[in-house]
């Protein structure tokens, strides 16, 4: 149910509650709380969870007879829990009421995207006709990143008496939101203590095991009318009990206000004292709601994207969740881009390469946040250098999965739920993540004009990734080219050759091409640096002329395999067997996770030309056609339009789309190539989470890269918007389903630049300022300057 700025659900369906909880999560960039029903603790149906950005804990588990370490984003104590039951006059108390109660007659969940509020409306009526209407309104404050609040109202119909309410602060929680991880240690909180302040504020203190982050949650419970509270502190939390007198058609209310402080805060202090003190200064719910809504208004102005119709409503939901995970508050934190947001425990809250799909939007709307996320990578450059050394390499080798420290967090085993078997996980061989980090550095600087960052921290990251690729490439005299062996590409399915004893495949085209690109940009950057900074970096990194000459040579002679006139996914790809795609679809229906199907059959996807997601075609996502042609020309592999179109068609037919990113990338590539199937992939990317197309995974956390990527698909993909040295390049493509839209961007010091797309026309409006004209480059090479205070329209 979607109307305007509202996203909602009109009935209670237990099998859908986890999905509702993820899509109705509220957050402010520092922490987020799943949109769970306040009445329920964690169980088979409901899974309340609160997650603090960057709060990880390392535990050891025994899996398959092996001891394995995992670092997880920690599920914090549940501050939302509120139990209630009816106490009719002169009768024994009824049962605690929940959405699953047989007396439930109405249930509605509504997420207000404009205001950042979540409301629930429930109506219960018993066999005697006595009714109770309950309404919950929840916020996670976007202005003050330490606060959240929940107001619950109760109204009786046809009876008098009291409503008994228990306001609970529950620390008896664990990480149990993903069934596949059931064998992993999920208890991450220890040293729990709880109590009450003199004013009735409840508090709970605890810490994680490793690294021992101290956490404190303080909750102030206010009732209207005011009634005395019964208080009980337990080893795992607090319970405050109230009896609110009710008469027909008159409301009573309970408000829980949370303050969350930790030892991660700057400056570090006493989390418990700070949390309790914060509540003494926190206003009532109505004032909190007003300031919260004002903060959201400012965010929407900065991140504006106006697309008509249902597509626009879904895009607005995607933007809402992006801003809740990565808000301006993120700029103050040392955190990366969690692949599943702060919405659940899938992927254990780890950081992969998803910033590749997230940063393009942030670069254009929230450049300070984008810079902070790149600083997360820079702070972990020492760990990436150490990883390269430990692997016998040089430079910086960034991990496929990162968390708090920057060490490799990829699990060594993963569970196939179809077969029940724990299998080796070789995805840590996806070293192409380093190229993504370097690419993000370069694109950020191009878009924002932040040469200070590019010449300082950005240069250190990009040059060290280039150095890694130079060392990883080995010269093959027979091919007279350099090769990169023993890797895994973005496909992820193929982690070894059929029957091979060692993991990894050779010369993944995406890996090699992006490595060549990084090496070339490293050389360009060195030439662009001021002489003093160039000399400083060359001395600090011990970059001599011989090494730079090798960079030049490798960047021009890395091997790109071809077969049958198309780019191969990796060397030997064309020798693999063809899969009976129609046969498997007929037998299984949904074959997105083809790897699990084949393994359960005793087979392996390594034997087939079958990709999980875009691999080779990722090159068409990262690079405009002219850039891709130039890259392949530099490598001595001329790539014409016909070869690229054939490559796209070849690999599309052999992809199972087992990742939400797959439809996004294929939608982008086919739209830019004016393919007939473009909208089919774009639509699937839009629906990936809201329709839970991956079969139950959204309830474990949203797919942040895919959500952000759909925004970027409209803003950059359809408009062809790109930052080039000459200015803002535009090269729109027609997508009939989204013919008109508008958005605002930041570009090289210009803020609030409005871009409007209409059939056959594109308008650019620059707000009045003291800056110079915004340079615009059209597809035919013509250049125009749009002056501050001016709007210009271009026919296309």
Active-site amino acid positions: 492
Report d(CA 287, CA 289) in Å as an integer: 5
Residue 466 CB partners (closer than 8 Å, separation 6+): 395, 438, 518, 519, 521, 522, 551
Q: Where are the alpha helices (DSSP H) in 245-328?
A: 271-281, 285-302, 309-325
Secondary structure of 6-21 in HEC code, one letter for each residue:
EEEECCCCHHHHHHHH
CA 188 to CA 57: how far, in whole Å?
6
Q: Could you please report the per-residue DSSP string of 209-250?
A: SSS--EEEEEEEEEEES----EEEEETTEEEEEEEEEE-BT-
Helix (H) or strand (E) holding 648: helix 641-652
Round to whole Å and give the CA distance between 177 and 188. 13
> DSSP secondary structure string, 688-708?
TTTTTTTTS-GGG---HHHHH
* Contact (CB, 8 A) for 555 and 634: yes
Distance CA 426, CA 411 (A): 9
Distance CA 404, CA 677 (A): 41
Whole-number Å distance between alpha carbons of 336 and 710:
20
Question: Using an 8 Å Cβ cutoff, are 116 and 139 in contact?
Answer: yes
Opening angle at CA 232, ends 227 and 236, nearest 5: 135
Sign of CA dihedral 481, 487, 492, 495: positive
* Tokens of residue 198, six digits: 């003199």
Q: Token pair 């509120």 is at which residue?
A: 82
Helix (H, G, I), strand (E, B) or coil at 52: strand
**Cβ(612)–Cβ(598) below 8 Å:** no
E strand map for 383-532: 413-416, 421-424, 474-476, 481-483
Q: What is the largest CA-CA distance in the chain?
A: 94
Where do we find the tokens 């050759």?
A: 497
Question: Distance between CA 137 and CA 560 in Å, rounded?
Answer: 56
Token digits for 415? Answer: 């569970």
φ/ψ (deg, to 5) at 269: -145, -150
Nearest to 656 by CA among 561, 742, 725, 591: 591
> How far is the C-alpha of 549 from the C-alpha of 584, rounded, in Å?
50
For the chain, what's the residue count? 796
Question: Strands across the sheet with 82-88, in order?
Answer: 82-88, 161-170, 237-246, 230-234
Q: 341: left (phi > 0), else alpha (psi -120 to 50), else beta?
A: left
DSSP string covering 380-395: THHHHHHHHHHTT--S
SS (H, E, C) 564-585: CCEECCCCCHHHCECCCHHHHH
3-class secondary structure, 733 = coil
DSSP 3-state assignment of 644? helix
In three-state secondary structure terms, 489 is coil
How far apart, in whole angstroms, are the C-alpha atoms of residue 680 and residue 694? 16
> Tokens in use for 497?
């050759």
Return the number of other C-beta atoms located less than 10 Å from residue 556's C-beta.
16
CA dihedral 761, 767, 768, 774 (to 10 degrees): -60
């Amino acid at each position: 149910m979607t109307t305007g700025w509202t996203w909602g659900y009109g009935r209670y369906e237990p099998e859908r509650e986890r999905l509702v909880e993820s899509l109705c999560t509220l957050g402010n960039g520092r922490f987020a709380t799943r949109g769970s029903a306040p009445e329920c603790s964690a169980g088979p149906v409901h899974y309340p969870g609160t997650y603090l950005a960057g709060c990880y804990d390392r535990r050891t588990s025994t899996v398959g007879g092996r001891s394995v370490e995992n670092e997880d984003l920690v599920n914090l104590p549940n501050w939302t829990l509120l139990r209630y039951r009816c106490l009719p006059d002169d009768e024994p108390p009824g049962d605690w009421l929940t959405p699953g109660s047989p007396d439930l007659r109405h249930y509605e969940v509504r997420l207000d995207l404009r205001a950042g509020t979540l409301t629930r409306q429930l109506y219960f009526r018993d066999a005697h006709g006595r009714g109770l209407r309950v309404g919950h309104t929840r916020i996670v404050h976007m202005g003050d990143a330490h606060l959240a609040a929940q107001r619950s109202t109760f109204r009786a119909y046809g009876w008098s008496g009291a409503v008994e309410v228990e306001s609970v602060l529950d620390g008896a929680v664990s990480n149990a939101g993903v069934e596949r991880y059931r064998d992993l240690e999920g208890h991450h909180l220890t040293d729990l203590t709880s109590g009450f302040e003199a004013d009735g504020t409840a508090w709970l203190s605890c810490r994680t095991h490793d690294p021992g982050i101290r956490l404190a949650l303080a909750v102030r419970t206010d009732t209207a009318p005011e009634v005395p509270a019964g208080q009980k502190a337990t080893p795992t939390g607090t319970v405050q009990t109230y009896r609110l007198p009710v008469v027909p058609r008159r409301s009573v209310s309970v408000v829980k206000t949370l303050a969350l402080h930790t030892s991660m805060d700057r400056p570090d202090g006493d989390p418990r004292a700070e949390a309790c003190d914060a509540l003494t200064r926190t206003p009532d719910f109505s004032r909190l709601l007003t300031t919260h809504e004002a903060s959201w208004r400012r965010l929407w102005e900065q991140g504006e994207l106006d697309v008509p119709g249902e597509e626009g409503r879904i895009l607005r939901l995607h933007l809402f969740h992006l801003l809740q995970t990565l808000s301006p508050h993120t700029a103050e934190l040392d955190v990366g881009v969690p692949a599943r947001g702060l919405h659940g425990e899938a992927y254990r809250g780890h950081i992969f390469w998803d910033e590749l799909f997230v940063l393009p939007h942030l670069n254009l709307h929230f450049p300070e946040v984008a810079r902070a996320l790149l600083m997360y990578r820079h702070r972990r450059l020492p760990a990436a250098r150490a990883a390269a050394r430990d692997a016998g390499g040089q430079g910086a080798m960034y991990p496929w999965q990162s968390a708090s420290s920057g060490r490799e967090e990829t699990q060594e085993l993963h569970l196939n739920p179809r077969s029940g078997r724990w299998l080796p996980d070789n995805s840590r061989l996806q070293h192409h993540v380093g190229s993504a980090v370097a690419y993000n550095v370069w694109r950020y600087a191009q878009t924002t004009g932040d040469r200070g960052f590019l010449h300082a921290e950005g240069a250190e990251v990009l040059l060290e990734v280039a150095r890694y690729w130079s060392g990883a490439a080995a010269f093959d005299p027979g091919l007279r080219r350099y090769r990169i062996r023993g890797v895994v590409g973005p496909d992820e399915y193929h982690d070894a050759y059929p029957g091979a004893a060692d993991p990894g495949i050779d010369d993944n085209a995406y890996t090699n091409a992006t490595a060549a690109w990084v090496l070339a940009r490293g050389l360009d950057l060195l030439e662009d640096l001021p002489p003093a900074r160039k000399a400083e970096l060359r001395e600090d990194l011990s970059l001599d002329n011989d090494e730079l000459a090798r960079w030049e040579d490798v960047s021009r002679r890395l091997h790109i395999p071809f077969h049958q006139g198309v780019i191969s996914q990796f060397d030997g790809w064309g020798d693999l067997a063809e899969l009976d795609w129609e046969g498997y679809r007929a037998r299984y229906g949904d074959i997105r996770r083809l790897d699990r199907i084949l393994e359960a059959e005793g087979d392996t996807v390594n034997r087939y030309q079958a990709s999980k997601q875009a691999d080779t075609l990722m090159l068409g996502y990262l690079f405009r056609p002219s850039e891709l042609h130039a890259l392949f020309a530099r490598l001595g592999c001329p790539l014409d339009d016909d070869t690229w179109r054939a490559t796209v068609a070849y690999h599309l037919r052999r992809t199972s789309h087992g990742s939400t990113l797959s439809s996004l990338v294929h939608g982008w590539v086919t739209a830019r190539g004016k393919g007939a199937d473009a909208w089919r992939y774009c639509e699937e990317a839009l629906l990936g989470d809201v329709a839970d197309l991956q079969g139950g995974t959204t309830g474990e956390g949203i797919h942040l890269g895919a959500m952000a990527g759909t925004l970027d698909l409209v803003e950059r993909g359809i408009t062809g918007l790109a930052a080039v040295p000459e200015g803002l390049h535009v090269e729109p493509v027609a997508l009939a389903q989204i013919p008109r839209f508008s958005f605002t961007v930041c570009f090289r010091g210009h803020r609030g630049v409005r871009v409007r797309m209409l059939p056959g026309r594109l308008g650019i409006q620059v707000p009045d300022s003291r800056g110079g004209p915004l340079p615009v480059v059209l597809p035919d090479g013509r250049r125009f300057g749009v002056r501050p205070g001016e709007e210009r329209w271009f026919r296309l």
